[in-house]
């Protein structure tokens, strides 16, 4: 036999409902306050500041000029989508999010592109980790590895080759940098030659990769560094092109880095 439980006072205390009503009441109160303030004192609901956060390379004054939000504009008259579109016009800006911060501020969050290397063509062009061009820069602007050998003539003779070469340079840069972790050496340049292949200038070493089969060649370099104690901060040339071995010889006129 099944018995029904007698209802108790706890069953009808309405606590969850009261909490929801309280939250809704607070939200309504805030909206009412803002609305009254806008009607009674509209001078308190105008833009007095346009702030930017997240940028490193682009100055706030440049972003403020691009945003084109005038001090004194009524807060609700600021078109946030226009602000985002205007700021995103800067080549270093990857993503933008604009929002109103009542009572009087427009806040703009900026995400910039992260440069990975400088492509020399002959001007310096910062590129990201995907090989996409970001913007032209000066030689002193960014301390990044140089990608050389991808000139205008190569693009004219082989229109599809420059993009492929840059991807190979990015792969070699990543792999050789991994070998240099924990040392003071760094990759200063990755050079491409149609005849010889790729040359990575790492520390004081010059590492030669022939065209294709980078996996096999890098495995030899990894073995030399990890197992044989090869130091890339020494003035040496490492030729990885031979099928079964690597040729390591001293080199003269090594680049510093």
Specify the CATH number for the domain of residue 96: 3.10.20.310
pTM above 0.85, yes or no: no
Per-residue pLDDT, averaged over 224-234, amounts to: 91
130 and 244 together in one domain: yes
Specify the CATH number for the domain of residue 214: 3.40.50
103 and 217 together in one domain: no
100 and 138 together in one domain: no
Per-residue pLDDT, averaged over 213-242, amounts to: 93
How many separate domains does the chain show?
2
Whether residue 101 is predicted with pLDDT greater than 50 in this model: the reply is yes
Q: What is the pLDDT of residue 183?
A: 85
CA torsion angle 58 61 64 66 (round to 10): -60
125 and 182 together in one domain: yes
Structure tokens at 153: 């003539």
257 confidence band (pLDDT: 50, 70, 90): very low
239 and 198 together in one domain: yes
> What percentage of the chain reaches a pLDDT higher than 70?
80
Q: Within a domain: residue 29?
A: no
Instruction: Give the pLDDT confidence of 63-95 residue by residue, as tens digits.
Output: 999 999 999 999 999 999 999 999 999 999 999
Q: What is the pLDDT of residue 32?
A: 54
Question: Which residue range is the domain that position 94 belongs to?
Answer: 43-112
126 and 106 together in one domain: no
Q: How far apart are CA 41 and CA 44, in angstroms?
A: 6
């Amino acid at each position: 036999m099944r018995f029904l439980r007698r209802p108790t006072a706890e069953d009808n205390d309405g606590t969850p409902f009261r909490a929801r009503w309280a939250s809704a009441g607070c939200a309504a109160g805030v909206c009412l306050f803002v609305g009254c303030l806008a009607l009674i004192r509209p001078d308190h609901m105008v833009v007095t500041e346009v702030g930017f956060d997240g940028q490193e390379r682009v100055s706030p004054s440049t972003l403020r000029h691009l945003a084109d939000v005038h001090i004194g504009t009524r807060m609700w008259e600021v078109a946030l989508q226009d602000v985002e579109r205007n700021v995103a016009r800067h080549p270093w800006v990857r993503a933008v999010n604009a929002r109103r911060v009542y009572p009087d501020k427009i806040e703009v969050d900026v995400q910039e592109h992260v440069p990975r290397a400088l492509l020399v063509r002959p001007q310096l062009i910062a590129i990201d980790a995907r090989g996409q061009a970001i913007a032209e820069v000066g030689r002193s602007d960014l301390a990044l590895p140089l990608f050389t050998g991808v000139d205008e003539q190569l693009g004219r003779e082989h229109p599809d080759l420059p993009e492929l070469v840059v991807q190979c340079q990015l792969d070699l840069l990543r792999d050789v940098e991994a070998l240099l972790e924990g040392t003071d050496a760094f990759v200063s340049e990755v050079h491409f030659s149609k005849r010889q292949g790729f040359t990575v200038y790492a520390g004081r070493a010059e590492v030669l990769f022939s065209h294709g089969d980078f996996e096999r060649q890098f495995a030899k370099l990894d073995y030399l560094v990890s197992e044989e104690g090869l130091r890339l901060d020494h003035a040496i040339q490492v030729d990885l092109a031979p099928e079964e071995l690597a040729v390591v010889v001293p080199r003269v006129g090594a680049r510093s880095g």
